[in-house]
Structure 1
Amino acid sequence: MPPLTLQLPEWFVSGGITMWVLALLSVVALATLISKILHFARIRPGNTRQADQLLDALRKGQQPGKPGKLSSPVDRVIWQCWKNRNLDEAAWQEESLRLARTSLDDLRGGLRVLEVISAIAPLLGLLGTVFGMIGAFQALETAGSQVDPSILSGGIWEALLTTAAGLTVAIPTLAAFHWADRNIEQCREKMQDRLSRLKVVRNLKTDPEPVDDSSEPAVSHAY
Protein backbone atom coordinates (compact mmCIF):
# COMPACT_ATOMS: atom_id res chain seq x y z
CA MET A 1 0.00 0.00 0.00
CA PRO A 2 1.55 3.33 -1.05
CA PRO A 3 2.25 5.78 1.76
CA LEU A 4 -0.22 8.57 2.26
CA THR A 5 1.11 11.99 1.34
CA LEU A 6 -0.36 15.30 2.27
CA GLN A 7 -1.05 17.34 -0.83
CA LEU A 8 -2.38 20.87 -0.70
CA PRO A 9 -5.27 21.75 -3.00
CA GLU A 10 -4.34 23.45 -6.23
CA TRP A 11 -6.49 26.49 -5.44
CA PHE A 12 -4.65 26.96 -2.13
CA VAL A 13 -1.26 26.88 -3.80
CA SER A 14 -2.46 29.25 -6.52
CA GLY A 15 -3.30 31.87 -3.90
CA GLY A 16 0.33 32.24 -2.91
CA ILE A 17 1.63 33.44 0.44
CA THR A 18 -1.60 35.33 1.17
CA MET A 19 -3.42 32.03 1.53
CA TRP A 20 -0.91 30.89 4.14
CA VAL A 21 -1.39 34.08 6.14
CA LEU A 22 -5.17 33.75 5.94
CA ALA A 23 -4.94 30.10 6.98
CA LEU A 24 -2.91 31.12 10.02
CA LEU A 25 -5.44 33.83 10.92
CA SER A 26 -8.28 31.34 10.61
CA VAL A 27 -6.54 28.97 13.04
CA VAL A 28 -5.98 31.81 15.53
CA ALA A 29 -9.61 32.94 15.22
CA LEU A 30 -10.93 29.41 15.69
CA ALA A 31 -8.73 28.83 18.74
CA THR A 32 -9.85 32.14 20.25
CA LEU A 33 -13.51 31.33 19.64
CA ILE A 34 -13.21 27.89 21.23
CA SER A 35 -11.45 29.46 24.20
CA LYS A 36 -14.26 32.02 24.65
CA ILE A 37 -16.96 29.35 24.35
CA LEU A 38 -15.29 27.25 27.05
CA HIS A 39 -14.76 30.35 29.20
CA PHE A 40 -18.40 31.42 28.95
CA ALA A 41 -19.59 27.87 29.58
CA ARG A 42 -17.51 27.71 32.76
CA ILE A 43 -18.40 31.07 34.31
CA ARG A 44 -21.88 31.58 32.76
CA PRO A 45 -21.79 35.39 32.47
CA GLY A 46 -25.57 35.69 32.24
CA ASN A 47 -26.24 33.79 35.47
CA THR A 48 -27.47 35.96 38.38
CA ARG A 49 -28.97 33.34 40.71
CA GLN A 50 -26.71 34.01 43.71
CA ALA A 51 -27.01 37.77 43.31
CA ASP A 52 -30.81 37.58 43.08
CA GLN A 53 -30.96 35.42 46.21
CA LEU A 54 -28.90 38.00 48.10
CA LEU A 55 -31.08 40.89 46.94
CA ASP A 56 -34.30 39.02 47.73
CA ALA A 57 -33.10 38.24 51.25
CA LEU A 58 -32.10 41.86 51.86
CA ARG A 59 -35.38 43.14 50.46
CA LYS A 60 -37.28 40.91 52.90
CA GLY A 61 -35.13 42.07 55.80
CA GLN A 62 -33.49 38.67 56.20
CA GLN A 63 -29.85 37.90 56.81
CA PRO A 64 -28.41 36.40 53.62
CA GLY A 65 -26.95 32.96 53.99
CA LYS A 66 -23.55 31.81 52.89
CA PRO A 67 -23.33 31.88 49.08
CA GLY A 68 -22.55 28.87 46.97
CA LYS A 69 -19.92 28.78 44.26
CA LEU A 70 -19.67 32.27 42.78
CA SER A 71 -18.61 31.51 39.21
CA SER A 72 -20.72 34.17 37.51
CA PRO A 73 -19.19 37.68 37.28
CA VAL A 74 -22.47 39.24 38.41
CA ASP A 75 -22.69 37.00 41.48
CA ARG A 76 -19.07 37.65 42.46
CA VAL A 77 -19.33 41.43 42.09
CA ILE A 78 -22.63 41.76 43.96
CA TRP A 79 -21.50 39.61 46.88
CA GLN A 80 -18.16 41.39 47.10
CA CYS A 81 -19.91 44.76 47.07
CA TRP A 82 -22.20 43.56 49.87
CA LYS A 83 -19.16 42.57 51.92
CA ASN A 84 -17.85 46.13 51.45
CA ARG A 85 -21.10 47.68 52.66
CA ASN A 86 -19.45 49.24 55.72
CA LEU A 87 -17.41 51.60 53.57
CA ASP A 88 -18.57 55.18 53.27
CA GLU A 89 -20.75 56.04 50.29
CA ALA A 90 -18.03 57.50 48.04
CA ALA A 91 -15.54 54.73 48.75
CA TRP A 92 -18.21 52.05 48.29
CA GLN A 93 -19.22 53.39 44.88
CA GLU A 94 -15.60 53.65 43.70
CA GLU A 95 -14.83 50.12 44.86
CA SER A 96 -18.01 48.77 43.26
CA LEU A 97 -17.13 50.39 39.92
CA ARG A 98 -13.60 49.02 40.12
CA LEU A 99 -14.84 45.49 40.77
CA ALA A 100 -17.34 45.72 37.92
CA ARG A 101 -14.79 47.08 35.45
CA THR A 102 -12.24 44.42 36.39
CA SER A 103 -14.78 41.65 36.00
CA LEU A 104 -15.91 42.89 32.58
CA ASP A 105 -12.32 43.38 31.41
CA ASP A 106 -11.65 39.73 32.20
CA LEU A 107 -14.59 38.75 30.02
CA ARG A 108 -13.31 40.83 27.11
CA GLY A 109 -10.04 38.93 26.93
CA GLY A 110 -9.48 37.69 23.37
CA LEU A 111 -12.19 39.81 21.78
CA ARG A 112 -9.63 42.22 20.37
CA VAL A 113 -8.05 39.32 18.47
CA LEU A 114 -11.36 38.43 16.80
CA GLU A 115 -12.03 42.07 15.97
CA VAL A 116 -8.62 42.59 14.37
CA ILE A 117 -8.79 39.37 12.33
CA SER A 118 -12.28 40.19 11.04
CA ALA A 119 -10.96 43.59 9.93
CA ILE A 120 -7.67 42.63 8.27
CA ALA A 121 -8.66 39.32 6.63
CA PRO A 122 -10.68 40.97 3.80
CA LEU A 123 -7.90 43.52 3.30
CA LEU A 124 -5.30 40.77 3.00
CA GLY A 125 -7.54 38.98 0.52
CA LEU A 126 -7.92 42.14 -1.51
CA LEU A 127 -4.17 42.74 -1.40
CA GLY A 128 -3.56 39.24 -2.72
CA THR A 129 -6.06 39.86 -5.50
CA VAL A 130 -4.30 43.09 -6.50
CA PHE A 131 -0.94 41.33 -6.68
CA GLY A 132 -2.54 38.51 -8.65
CA MET A 133 -4.06 40.95 -11.13
CA ILE A 134 -0.70 42.64 -11.55
CA GLY A 135 0.87 39.30 -12.34
CA ALA A 136 -1.91 38.45 -14.80
CA PHE A 137 -1.47 41.69 -16.73
CA GLN A 138 2.31 41.28 -16.72
CA ALA A 139 1.87 37.86 -18.29
CA LEU A 140 -0.50 39.39 -20.83
CA GLU A 141 2.07 42.05 -21.71
CA THR A 142 4.80 39.45 -22.07
CA ALA A 143 2.67 37.48 -24.55
CA GLY A 144 2.77 40.49 -26.89
CA SER A 145 0.76 40.10 -30.06
CA GLN A 146 0.06 36.45 -29.38
CA VAL A 147 -2.54 37.16 -26.73
CA ASP A 148 -4.29 34.14 -25.31
CA PRO A 149 -7.50 35.05 -23.42
CA SER A 150 -6.94 32.06 -21.15
CA ILE A 151 -3.84 33.75 -19.74
CA LEU A 152 -5.83 36.72 -18.51
CA SER A 153 -8.86 34.74 -17.36
CA GLY A 154 -6.69 32.20 -15.56
CA GLY A 155 -4.75 34.93 -13.80
CA ILE A 156 -7.92 36.71 -12.71
CA TRP A 157 -9.41 33.46 -11.43
CA GLU A 158 -6.35 32.77 -9.31
CA ALA A 159 -6.24 36.35 -8.06
CA LEU A 160 -9.85 36.34 -6.88
CA LEU A 161 -9.19 33.26 -4.75
CA THR A 162 -7.54 35.37 -2.04
CA THR A 163 -10.51 37.74 -1.84
CA ALA A 164 -12.86 34.80 -1.42
CA ALA A 165 -10.58 33.29 1.22
CA GLY A 166 -10.34 36.60 3.08
CA LEU A 167 -14.10 36.95 3.22
CA THR A 168 -14.47 33.32 4.26
CA VAL A 169 -12.23 33.99 7.27
CA ALA A 170 -13.65 37.42 8.10
CA ILE A 171 -17.40 36.70 8.06
CA PRO A 172 -17.54 33.93 10.72
CA THR A 173 -14.89 35.73 12.77
CA LEU A 174 -16.98 38.89 12.81
CA ALA A 175 -20.06 36.88 13.76
CA ALA A 176 -18.14 35.25 16.62
CA PHE A 177 -16.95 38.67 17.82
CA HIS A 178 -20.49 40.07 17.92
CA TRP A 179 -21.77 36.94 19.69
CA ALA A 180 -19.18 37.27 22.45
CA ASP A 181 -19.60 41.03 22.65
CA ARG A 182 -23.37 40.67 23.03
CA ASN A 183 -22.93 38.19 25.89
CA ILE A 184 -20.63 40.63 27.66
CA GLU A 185 -23.04 43.50 27.07
CA GLN A 186 -25.90 41.50 28.59
CA CYS A 187 -23.68 40.71 31.58
CA ARG A 188 -22.88 44.40 31.97
CA GLU A 189 -26.57 45.36 31.89
CA LYS A 190 -27.47 42.73 34.51
CA MET A 191 -24.56 43.77 36.70
CA GLN A 192 -25.57 47.42 36.49
CA ASP A 193 -29.16 46.55 37.39
CA ARG A 194 -28.15 44.44 40.43
CA LEU A 195 -25.69 47.07 41.62
CA SER A 196 -28.40 49.72 41.47
CA ARG A 197 -30.76 47.53 43.49
CA LEU A 198 -28.00 46.76 46.01
CA LYS A 199 -27.26 50.46 46.38
CA VAL A 200 -30.92 51.14 47.23
CA VAL A 201 -30.98 48.36 49.84
CA ARG A 202 -27.67 49.52 51.32
CA ASN A 203 -28.88 53.10 51.62
CA LEU A 204 -32.01 51.91 53.40
CA LYS A 205 -29.89 49.94 55.85
CA THR A 206 -27.56 52.86 56.56
CA ASP A 207 -30.11 55.71 56.72
CA PRO A 208 -30.52 57.22 60.19
CA GLU A 209 -33.59 56.36 62.20
CA PRO A 210 -36.52 58.71 61.60
CA VAL A 211 -37.02 61.37 64.23
CA ASP A 212 -39.97 60.76 66.56
CA ASP A 213 -42.14 63.89 66.41
CA SER A 214 -44.62 62.66 69.01
CA SER A 215 -43.01 64.79 71.72
CA GLU A 216 -43.54 68.02 69.82
CA PRO A 217 -46.54 70.13 70.82
CA ALA A 218 -49.56 69.70 68.68
CA VAL A 219 -50.33 72.52 66.31
CA SER A 220 -53.78 73.99 66.83
CA HIS A 221 -55.82 74.80 63.77
CA ALA A 222 -58.43 77.51 63.68
CA TYR A 223 -61.60 76.60 61.91
Structure 2
Amino acid sequence: MKILSMILISVLQELPVDETLVEPIAEVSVLDLLFKGGYMMLPILLLSLLGTYILVERLLTIKAASQTPDSLMDEVKHMVVAGKVAEAQSVCARDSTPIAKMLEKGLSRIGNPLKSIEASIENVGKIEVYKLEKNLTLLATISGAAPMIGFLGTVTGMIQAFMSIAQEEGAVSPKLLSSGIYEAMITTAAGLFVGIISYIAYNYLITKVGKLIHKMEYTSINFIDLLQEPQKK
Protein backbone atom coordinates (compact mmCIF):
# COMPACT_ATOMS: atom_id res chain seq x y z
CA MET A 1 0.00 0.00 0.00
CA LYS A 2 2.81 2.30 0.84
CA ILE A 3 4.50 1.55 -2.50
CA LEU A 4 1.27 2.33 -4.43
CA SER A 5 0.82 5.66 -2.65
CA MET A 6 4.43 6.64 -3.46
CA ILE A 7 3.88 5.77 -7.13
CA LEU A 8 0.65 7.82 -7.21
CA ILE A 9 2.35 10.85 -5.70
CA SER A 10 5.21 10.68 -8.20
CA VAL A 11 2.74 10.44 -11.10
CA LEU A 12 0.72 13.41 -9.87
CA GLN A 13 3.88 15.48 -9.54
CA GLU A 14 4.76 14.81 -13.18
CA LEU A 15 1.30 15.76 -14.54
CA PRO A 16 1.07 19.25 -16.10
CA VAL A 17 -1.04 21.77 -14.22
CA ASP A 18 -3.26 24.27 -16.02
CA GLU A 19 -2.65 27.51 -14.10
CA THR A 20 -5.77 29.09 -15.59
CA LEU A 21 -7.92 26.67 -13.61
CA VAL A 22 -6.31 27.59 -10.30
CA GLU A 23 -7.93 30.59 -8.62
CA PRO A 24 -5.41 32.84 -6.94
CA ILE A 25 -5.90 33.41 -3.25
CA ALA A 26 -6.96 37.01 -2.72
CA GLU A 27 -4.97 38.83 -0.09
CA VAL A 28 -7.18 40.91 2.21
CA SER A 29 -5.56 43.69 4.21
CA VAL A 30 -6.66 44.77 7.68
CA LEU A 31 -7.97 48.05 6.27
CA ASP A 32 -10.13 46.17 3.76
CA LEU A 33 -11.55 44.04 6.55
CA LEU A 34 -12.41 47.11 8.59
CA PHE A 35 -14.26 48.66 5.67
CA LYS A 36 -16.19 45.43 5.17
CA GLY A 37 -17.39 45.53 8.77
CA GLY A 38 -20.25 47.87 7.91
CA TYR A 39 -21.52 51.08 9.44
CA MET A 40 -21.17 49.71 12.99
CA MET A 41 -17.41 50.07 12.60
CA LEU A 42 -17.80 53.86 12.80
CA PRO A 43 -18.86 54.06 16.49
CA ILE A 44 -16.24 51.45 17.36
CA LEU A 45 -13.60 53.58 15.63
CA LEU A 46 -14.78 56.68 17.49
CA LEU A 47 -14.65 54.82 20.81
CA SER A 48 -11.12 53.62 20.06
CA LEU A 49 -9.97 57.19 19.32
CA LEU A 50 -11.66 58.50 22.47
CA GLY A 51 -10.14 55.74 24.58
CA THR A 52 -6.67 56.43 23.16
CA TYR A 53 -7.03 60.13 23.93
CA ILE A 54 -8.13 59.45 27.51
CA LEU A 55 -5.26 57.00 28.05
CA VAL A 56 -2.57 59.39 26.78
CA GLU A 57 -4.05 62.42 28.57
CA ARG A 58 -4.40 60.59 31.89
CA LEU A 59 -0.89 59.16 31.66
CA LEU A 60 0.56 62.63 31.19
CA THR A 61 -1.57 64.05 34.03
CA ILE A 62 -0.67 61.28 36.47
CA LYS A 63 3.00 61.52 35.52
CA ALA A 64 3.00 65.27 36.18
CA ALA A 65 1.18 64.78 39.49
CA SER A 66 3.68 62.14 40.62
CA GLN A 67 6.75 64.35 40.13
CA THR A 68 6.84 65.62 43.71
CA PRO A 69 10.44 66.02 44.91
CA ASP A 70 11.33 63.42 47.53
CA SER A 71 13.02 66.12 49.58
CA LEU A 72 9.95 68.37 49.72
CA MET A 73 8.54 66.95 52.94
CA ASP A 74 11.95 67.04 54.66
CA GLU A 75 12.47 70.64 53.53
CA VAL A 76 9.05 71.65 54.83
CA LYS A 77 9.68 69.85 58.11
CA HIS A 78 12.97 71.68 58.74
CA MET A 79 11.39 75.06 57.94
CA VAL A 80 8.39 74.45 60.20
CA VAL A 81 10.63 73.37 63.09
CA ALA A 82 12.72 76.51 62.52
CA GLY A 83 9.58 78.65 62.54
CA LYS A 84 9.83 79.59 58.85
CA VAL A 85 6.25 78.76 57.96
CA ALA A 86 5.93 81.48 55.30
CA GLU A 87 9.06 80.24 53.51
CA ALA A 88 7.79 76.66 53.63
CA GLN A 89 4.50 77.81 52.17
CA SER A 90 6.27 79.62 49.32
CA VAL A 91 8.31 76.48 48.56
CA CYS A 92 5.12 74.44 48.23
CA ALA A 93 3.48 77.15 46.12
CA ARG A 94 6.19 76.76 43.48
CA ASP A 95 5.15 73.13 42.98
CA SER A 96 1.84 72.30 41.28
CA THR A 97 1.64 68.66 42.36
CA PRO A 98 -1.25 67.47 44.59
CA ILE A 99 1.04 66.77 47.54
CA ALA A 100 2.52 70.27 47.39
CA LYS A 101 -0.97 71.79 47.25
CA MET A 102 -2.02 69.79 50.30
CA LEU A 103 1.05 70.87 52.24
CA GLU A 104 0.53 74.49 51.21
CA LYS A 105 -3.06 74.39 52.46
CA GLY A 106 -1.99 72.84 55.73
CA LEU A 107 0.74 75.41 56.24
CA SER A 108 -1.72 78.24 55.61
CA ARG A 109 -3.92 76.87 58.43
CA ILE A 110 -1.17 76.61 61.06
CA GLY A 111 -2.44 78.20 64.27
CA ASN A 112 -5.90 76.70 63.92
CA PRO A 113 -7.01 73.49 65.68
CA LEU A 114 -5.52 70.30 64.29
CA LYS A 115 -8.94 69.01 63.22
CA SER A 116 -9.45 72.15 61.15
CA ILE A 117 -6.04 71.73 59.53
CA GLU A 118 -6.67 68.07 58.85
CA ALA A 119 -10.08 68.83 57.33
CA SER A 120 -8.63 71.50 55.03
CA ILE A 121 -5.90 69.13 53.84
CA GLU A 122 -8.49 66.40 53.27
CA ASN A 123 -10.68 68.74 51.21
CA VAL A 124 -7.76 69.68 48.97
CA GLY A 125 -6.90 66.00 48.64
CA LYS A 126 -10.44 65.16 47.53
CA ILE A 127 -10.31 67.85 44.85
CA GLU A 128 -6.97 66.57 43.58
CA VAL A 129 -8.20 62.95 43.55
CA TYR A 130 -11.23 64.03 41.54
CA LYS A 131 -8.87 65.65 39.00
CA LEU A 132 -6.76 62.49 38.82
CA GLU A 133 -9.79 60.24 38.27
CA LYS A 134 -11.33 62.46 35.61
CA ASN A 135 -12.64 60.51 32.56
CA LEU A 136 -11.64 57.14 34.03
CA THR A 137 -15.30 56.14 34.32
CA LEU A 138 -15.69 57.04 30.65
CA LEU A 139 -12.81 54.71 29.80
CA ALA A 140 -14.51 51.95 31.78
CA THR A 141 -17.71 52.62 29.83
CA ILE A 142 -15.80 52.27 26.55
CA SER A 143 -14.43 48.90 27.67
CA GLY A 144 -17.98 47.63 28.05
CA ALA A 145 -19.71 49.49 25.23
CA ALA A 146 -17.30 48.61 22.41
CA PRO A 147 -17.87 44.81 22.59
CA MET A 148 -21.65 45.33 22.82
CA ILE A 149 -21.63 47.50 19.71
CA GLY A 150 -19.52 44.84 18.00
CA PHE A 151 -22.06 42.15 18.89
CA LEU A 152 -24.85 44.38 17.61
CA GLY A 153 -22.98 44.83 14.32
CA THR A 154 -22.55 41.08 14.04
CA VAL A 155 -26.26 40.44 14.60
CA THR A 156 -27.32 43.01 12.00
CA GLY A 157 -24.69 41.67 9.59
CA MET A 158 -25.92 38.11 10.03
CA ILE A 159 -29.48 39.25 9.38
CA GLN A 160 -28.41 40.91 6.15
CA ALA A 161 -26.40 37.83 5.15
CA PHE A 162 -29.35 35.48 5.65
CA MET A 163 -31.64 37.90 3.83
CA SER A 164 -29.27 37.75 0.85
CA ILE A 165 -29.25 33.95 1.05
CA ALA A 166 -33.06 33.87 1.14
CA GLN A 167 -33.23 35.92 -2.05
CA GLU A 168 -30.99 33.48 -3.91
CA GLU A 169 -32.75 31.01 -6.18
CA GLY A 170 -31.57 27.45 -6.24
CA ALA A 171 -28.46 26.26 -4.45
CA VAL A 172 -26.73 28.77 -2.18
CA SER A 173 -23.14 29.50 -3.04
CA PRO A 174 -20.75 28.64 -0.18
CA LYS A 175 -18.79 31.76 -1.12
CA LEU A 176 -21.84 33.95 -0.55
CA LEU A 177 -22.56 32.30 2.78
CA SER A 178 -18.99 32.46 4.08
CA SER A 179 -18.35 36.03 2.94
CA GLY A 180 -21.52 37.30 4.61
CA ILE A 181 -20.67 35.58 7.88
CA TYR A 182 -17.02 36.68 8.10
CA GLU A 183 -17.93 40.26 7.25
CA ALA A 184 -20.49 40.23 10.06
CA MET A 185 -17.94 38.83 12.54
CA ILE A 186 -15.49 41.67 11.87
CA THR A 187 -17.43 44.06 14.11
CA THR A 188 -17.28 41.57 16.99
CA ALA A 189 -13.51 41.22 16.63
CA ALA A 190 -13.04 45.00 16.43
CA GLY A 191 -15.33 45.65 19.40
CA LEU A 192 -13.59 43.04 21.53
CA PHE A 193 -10.18 44.44 20.63
CA VAL A 194 -11.16 47.98 21.63
CA GLY A 195 -12.89 46.72 24.76
CA ILE A 196 -9.93 44.63 25.94
CA ILE A 197 -7.43 47.44 25.38
CA SER A 198 -9.70 49.95 27.18
CA TYR A 199 -10.21 47.54 30.09
CA ILE A 200 -6.47 47.00 30.51
CA ALA A 201 -5.82 50.75 30.24
CA TYR A 202 -8.52 51.50 32.84
CA ASN A 203 -7.10 49.06 35.39
CA TYR A 204 -3.57 50.31 34.76
CA LEU A 205 -4.60 53.93 35.33
CA ILE A 206 -6.60 53.00 38.44
CA THR A 207 -3.49 51.31 39.85
CA LYS A 208 -1.36 54.38 39.14
CA VAL A 209 -3.92 56.70 40.75
CA GLY A 210 -4.22 54.41 43.76
CA LYS A 211 -0.47 54.52 44.37
CA LEU A 212 -0.49 58.32 44.15
CA ILE A 213 -3.46 58.56 46.55
CA HIS A 214 -1.61 56.34 49.03
CA LYS A 215 1.39 58.66 48.79
CA MET A 216 -0.84 61.70 49.38
CA GLU A 217 -2.39 60.10 52.46
CA TYR A 218 1.04 59.17 53.82
CA THR A 219 2.28 62.73 53.36
CA SER A 220 -0.76 64.25 55.06
CA ILE A 221 -0.33 61.92 58.06
CA ASN A 222 3.34 62.90 58.35
CA PHE A 223 2.40 66.57 58.20
CA ILE A 224 -0.19 66.23 60.98
CA ASP A 225 2.34 64.31 63.08
CA LEU A 226 4.81 67.13 62.49
CA LEU A 227 2.35 69.65 63.90
CA GLN A 228 1.73 67.44 66.93
CA GLU A 229 5.42 67.10 67.82
CA PRO A 230 5.65 70.32 69.85
CA GLN A 231 2.65 69.17 71.89
CA LYS A 232 4.36 65.88 72.75
CA LYS A 233 7.45 67.54 74.17
After TM superposition, the score normalised by the length of structure 1 is 0.78
Aligned to 2:178: 153
Q: Which of 45, 58, 64 is matched with 1:36 structurally?
A: 58
Residues 1-223 of structure 1 correspond to what in structure 2 (within 5 A)? 9-41=31-63, 43-45=64-66, 47-49=68-70, 51-54=72-75, 56-57=77-78, 61-63=81-83, 65-66=87-88, 67=91, 69-143=94-168, 145-205=170-230, 207=231
Tell me the CA shift for residue 146 of structure 1.
1.7
Alpha-carbon RMSD across the aligned residues, in angstroms, is 2.5
Aligned to 2:16: none
Give the helix-richer structure, 1 or 2. Answer: 2
Extract unaligned runs of 5+ from structure 2. Answer: 1-29
Secondary structure (helix, strand or coil) at the match of 2:40 reads: helix
Tell me the CA shift for residue 82 of structure 1.
2.5
Tell me the CA shift for residue 31 of structure 1.
1.9
Aligned residues of 1:51 and 1:79 also touching (Cα < 8 A): no
Extract unaligned runs of 5+ from structure 1. Answer: 1-7, 210-223
Tell me the CA shift for residue 51 of structure 1.
4.0
Aligned to 1:212: none
Q: Percent identity?
A: 23
> How has the CA–CA distance of structure 1 residues 186 and 107 changed in structure 2, closer, same or farther, with 3 Å as cutoff?
same
Aligned residues of 2:51 and 2:139 also touching (Cα < 8 A): yes
Aligned residues of 1:50 and 1:70 also touching (Cα < 8 A): no
After TM superposition, the score normalised by the length of structure 2 is 0.75
Q: C-alpha separation between the residues in 2 aligned to 1:57 and 1:103?
A: 26
